[in-house]
Amino acid sequence: MTKTAPLLFYERMPAPGVVFGCLLPVPWVGAAVGLLLALGPVDGLPDRFAPLALALAHALAVGMLLPAMLGALFQLFPVAAGVPVPAARWVSPCVAATCVATAAALGAGFLGVGRAAFALAAWFGAPLLAIPAVLLVLAGRRVAGTHATTRTLRWIGSALLFTLASGATLATVLGLGMFAPSATLLDLHVGWGLGGWLATLVAGVASTVLPMFWQTRRWPARWQRWLPAWLWAPLLLGSVIGWRGHALWLWWQGWGWLALGALSAAGVLAVGGARRRHDPAWPLWLAATGAWLAVAVLGFAVRWLPPGWPVAWWMGTLALVGGGVLPVNAMLGKIVPFMVWMHLRRRVPKHMRLPAMQTLIGERQQRWHARLLLLALAAVLLVPLQPSALAPLAGALFTLSQVWLGVQLCRALLIFRRVSRAFARG
């Protein structure tokens, strides 16, 4: 294992509003997603193409996870790589609103409001979201790939651009209503969105934050050199040859599942051996890495599983909630208090004592949030057993977990504002 921690440039942290504006709405959007699950029409569930399933997937991916990821990247580029994202201060105030509006348009289209909703998402939402993606690509060109996180930062904007482009194409087809979307393009959109963007970014960020906050062992240098190529190689191959034949299509998908499984298994081992296993958010990371491993196993074995099993529902839930929401929530509970403390340390004279970072969001509150979120994940996985009865329960639990986190983050921000104003007046 590598012994030394990567150099971090804390003095280059962006202004608080650049990141907080993206991160703080996330749990409240999550609460709305939970209400959609609880109150939405369950007809067709758990089929992956059921209207509610499609609306929920895009509400999570675009409305909740995308602004969280973009806000984290606005922070990570200058701190982890020493390279600021150009124009981030001008773009960040619009990120959360654009993500939510695009997700709402897609959800409205899937739930039958009208095809015009797809056109709005494709022709307005996707181009607006492409702006921060292009900025990430431009910043990535200046990043030196010295470890897994910086190597991920160098290329992650390209994965987001491909996901947006394929999604806009599919939404345009749905908006026109003239012909069915391409199954190949749909698979590539899902593959790049969940594997090329979400899983890659979670893995790249985890290689720095897990040793930093949870004291896991660092990946060997030879492993770090393989990110993001480890996950992207099968996706790139599938993008080129996926149109040419069924046998090749199955081959590149199998390769992708094996790559994801190997990386996830390494993550499970790393998190399982963490020194700070007593931390309230540690179970979320353990469940997240286990969820990605389960996604890989199900994806590889799906051809041999009984056709009546709700494999698509399980895989989507494990990837988006288990592999996306869990680590994002775990990081929000760490990064927001950490940023609050760091920015206060800049503003407050050094001889003045600050509130301890651990007190900004208490461990008891974090522990209850983790329990609620894990219970919500289990409930969502069980929805196929009885959708009409379990979907409201799962949605209510998910909403409660996100409201709980949102209140704690708002409390930390209020402390930040109160202390900052007190010393500004002084």
> Using 50, 70 and 90 to split pLDDT, how confident is the model at 249?
low
Pair 377, 326: CB distance under 8 Å: yes
> Using 50, 70 and 90 to split pLDDT, how confident is the model at 265?
very high
Domain ranges in the chain are 10-345+353-425
Give 151-167 pLDDT, tens digit per residue: 999 999 999 999 999 99
Give 17-47 pLDDT, tens digit per residue: 899 999 999 999 999 999 999 999 999 999 9
* Average pLDDT over every residue of 78-94: 95
Share of the chain above pLDDT 70, in %: 96
Residue 365 pLDDT: 92
Say which CATH topology domain 10-345+353-425 has: Cytochrome C Oxidase; Chain A (1.20.210)
Residue 418 pLDDT: 82
Does 283 sit behind a cis peptide bond, omega within 30 degrees of 0 on the bond before it? no
Give, in order, the Cα–Cα distances in Å from 348 to each of 211, 351, 357, 424: 28, 8, 15, 9
Residue 350 phi, psi (nearest 5): -65, -25
Residue 5 pLDDT: 63
pLDDT at residue 2 greater than cutoff 60 = no
Give 114-159 pLDDT, tens digit per residue: 999 999 999 999 999 999 999 999 999 999 988 899 999 999 999 9
Residue 146 pLDDT: 83
Those residues whose C-beta lies under 8 Å from the C-beta of residue 240, and which sit 6 or more positions away, are none
Task: Quote the CA–CA distance of 336 and 18 in Å, as a whole number.
Answer: 12
Q: How many CB atoms sit inside 10 A of residue 89's CB?
A: 15
User: Is the sign of the CA dihedral 313, 317, 320, 322 positive or negative?
Assistant: negative
Q: How many CB atoms sit inside 10 A of residue 155's CB?
A: 21
Give 308-365 pLDDT, tens digit per residue: 999 999 999 999 999 999 999 999 998 888 888 888 777 777 767 777 777 788 889 9
Give 169-219 pLDDT, tens digit per residue: 999 999 998 777 888 899 999 999 999 999 999 999 999 999 988 989 887
pLDDT at residue 168 greater than cutoff 70 = yes
What is the pLDDT of the chain when averaged over all its residues? Answer: 91
